[in-house]
């Protein structure tokens, strides 16, 4: 008998239509959802409803509480499922992946349609996530996301569609496996997995996106408010609009770490070009090059490094 702990946090997967016809996130409890998925008798499910929130309201403090539940769980638990709204699901998955010391499967899932919608993906995604969490083949895979029969690594998964049930993908890297007729098939696993021992210290890291003829407004605000770190999403190999350069230099002179990422779905920041605002120019000024991390995950990585006191110089050179 396998036992899976399902941690419910709300989101579309637990939503109901209210009197105005809008969806109210977190209206279904975890117990109500689990009753409808028809699991085999070989899997026991324990439900713990921790939050009832839309995922845009979830905080790092919430995730720290979830991490504690996982790490303090009894050894009889075979794996964990976290039901979660899709808006920040990829961020929560990656944060838990690099802060949780756990070899057992930790699987996040959600849905694009509410449980009461015609053609809802809520119950099948939850069912598949539970099967994945109960699978011995899923050990040592890090935190994963199960969505529309596919298993994704937290490091690369990204929401690709606002409403389609094929809501997530891992551009350039593919999925780790599939769930087909309740059979979990794992084709590949990450070769490395690192974690940060984060403290309770809270830090503020902001994200700025470079666009044609950007202004200094946002980066000036960050410098004036002395944020703890900055992620600047550039173009291609990491170039940014020239208007941002002085603000980046000011942040660096004030010991604020600045990470340059790329807006491209695939490929990495690299010092190819030599002109104002290029990755080479910014690196020479002291900025960190974010490799192939997307901006949101680069931000989470910097937050965890700052909260753990980890060195920053090699933060994006492979994990």
- Per residue in 180-199, pLDDT (tens digit) is 999 999 999 999 889 999 99
Written as six digits, the tokens of 299 are 């931000």
Q: In 10 A of CB 217, how many CB atoms?
A: 10
Q: Domain boundary at 127, 155, 186, which?
A: 186
Lowest mean pLDDT among 24-33, 67-76, 210-219: 24-33
Instruction: List CB contacts of 109: < 8 A, sequence separation 6 or more.
Output: 13, 81, 82, 83, 84, 125, 126, 128, 129, 145, 146, 147
Lowest mean pLDDT among 46-60, 61-75, 93-107: 46-60
Residue 33: is its pLDDT beyond 80? Answer: no
Dist CA 50 CA 10 (whole Å): 9
Q: Are both 180 and 261 inside the same structural domain?
A: no
pLDDT given at position 114: 86
Q: Is 130 domain-assigned?
A: yes
The pTM score is: 0.93
Q: Tell me which residue range forms the domain holding 247.
A: 205-308
Q: Are both 219 and 163 inside the same structural domain?
A: no
Q: Domain boundary at 186, 220, 237, which?
A: 186
Q: Are both 108 and 152 inside the same structural domain?
A: yes
Q: Residue 297's domain is classified under what CATH number? A: 3.40.50.40
Dist CA 126 CA 121 (whole Å): 9
Q: Is 157 domain-assigned?
A: yes
Q: Is 134 domain-assigned?
A: yes
pLDDT given at position 254: 97
Q: Domain boundary at 153, 186, 219, which?
A: 186
Q: Are both 70 and 179 inside the same structural domain?
A: yes
Which of the residues are catalytic?
12, 86
Which residue positions form the known binding site for substrate? 55, 86-87
pLDDT given at position 49: 87
Long-range (24+ apart) CB contacts under 8 A made by 46-51 are 46/3, 46/4, 46/5, 46/6, 46/77, 47/6, 47/8, 48/5, 48/6, 48/7, 48/8, 49/8, 50/7, 50/8, 50/9, 51/8, 51/9, 51/10, 51/26
Alpha carbon separation from 4 to 24, 39, 150, 175 (Å, rounded): 27, 11, 19, 22
Q: Is 133 domain-assigned?
A: yes
Percent share of the chain, pLDDT over 90: 81
pLDDT given at position 70: 97
pLDDT given at position 27: 59
How large is the average pLDDT for residues 59-84? 96
Q: Is 278 domain-assigned?
A: yes
Q: Are both 220 and 146 inside the same structural domain?
A: no
Lowest mean pLDDT among 23-27, 65-69, 232-236, 239-243: 23-27
Q: Are both 122 and 57 inside the same structural domain?
A: yes
Which residue positions form the known binding site? 55, 86-87
pLDDT given at position 239: 98
Q: Are both 126 and 35 inside the same structural domain?
A: yes
How large is the average pLDDT for residues 142-162? 97
How large is the average pLDDT for residues 215-230? 97
Q: Residue 179's domain is classified under what CATH number? A: 3.40.50.1170
Dist CA 13 CA 111 (whole Å): 5
Beta strand pairing call for 106-109 and 16-17? unpaired
Q: Are both 57 and 10 inside the same structural domain?
A: yes
Q: Are both 155 and 262 inside the same structural domain?
A: no
pLDDT given at position 60: 97
Q: 245 vs 317, which has greater pLDDT?
A: 245
pLDDT given at position 21: 65
The pLDDT tens digits of the residues spanning 254-271 come to 999 999 999 999 999 999
Q: Are both 90 and 209 inside the same structural domain?
A: no
How many domains does the chain contain in total?
A: 2
Q: Is 196 domain-assigned?
A: no
132: confidence class by pLDDT, cuts 50, 70, 90? very high
Q: Are both 51 and 82 inside the same structural domain?
A: yes
Q: Are both 34 and 113 inside the same structural domain?
A: yes
Q: Is 266 domain-assigned?
A: yes
Q: Is 174 domain-assigned?
A: yes
């Amino acid at each position: 008998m396998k036992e899976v702990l399902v941690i419910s946090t709300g989101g579309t997967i637990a939503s109901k239509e209210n009197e105005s016809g809008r969806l109210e996130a977190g209206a279904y409890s975890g117990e109500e959802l689990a009753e409808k998925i028809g699991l085999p008798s070989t899997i026991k499910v324990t439900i713990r409803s921790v939050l009832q929130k839309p995922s845009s309201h979830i905080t790092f403090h919430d995730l720290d509480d979830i991490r504690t539940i996982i790490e303090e769980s009894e050894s009889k638990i075979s794996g964990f499922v976290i039901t979660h709204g899709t808006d920040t699901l990829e961020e929560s998955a990656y944060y838990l992946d690099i802060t949780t010391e756990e070899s057992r499967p930790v699987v996040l899932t959600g849905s694009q349609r509410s449980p009461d919608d015609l053609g809802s993906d809520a119950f099948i995604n939850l069912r598949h996530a539970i099967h994945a969490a109960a699978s011995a083949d899923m050990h040592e895979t890090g935190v994963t996301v199960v969505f529309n029969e596919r298993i994704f690594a937290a490091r690369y998964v990204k929401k690709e569609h606002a409403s389609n049930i094929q809501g997530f993908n891992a551009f350039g890297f593919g999925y780790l496996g599939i769930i087909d007729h309740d059979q979990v098939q794992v084709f590949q696993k990450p070769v490395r997995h690192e974690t940060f021992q984060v403290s309770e210290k809270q830090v503020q890291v902001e994200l700025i996106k470079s666009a044609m003829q950007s202004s200094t407004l946002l980066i000036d605000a960050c410098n004036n408010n002395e944020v703890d770190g900055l992620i600047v999403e550039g173009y291609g190999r990491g170039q940014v609009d020239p208007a941002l350069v002085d603000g980046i230099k000011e942040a660096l002179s004030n010991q604020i770490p600045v990470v340059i990422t790329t807006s491209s779905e695939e490929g990495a920041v690299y010092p190819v070009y030599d002109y104002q605002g290029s990755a080479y120019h910014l690196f020479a000024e002291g900025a960190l090059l974010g490799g192939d991390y997307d901006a949101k995950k680069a931000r989470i990585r910097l937050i965890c490094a700052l909260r753990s006191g980890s060195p920053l110089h090699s933060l994006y050179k492979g994990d």
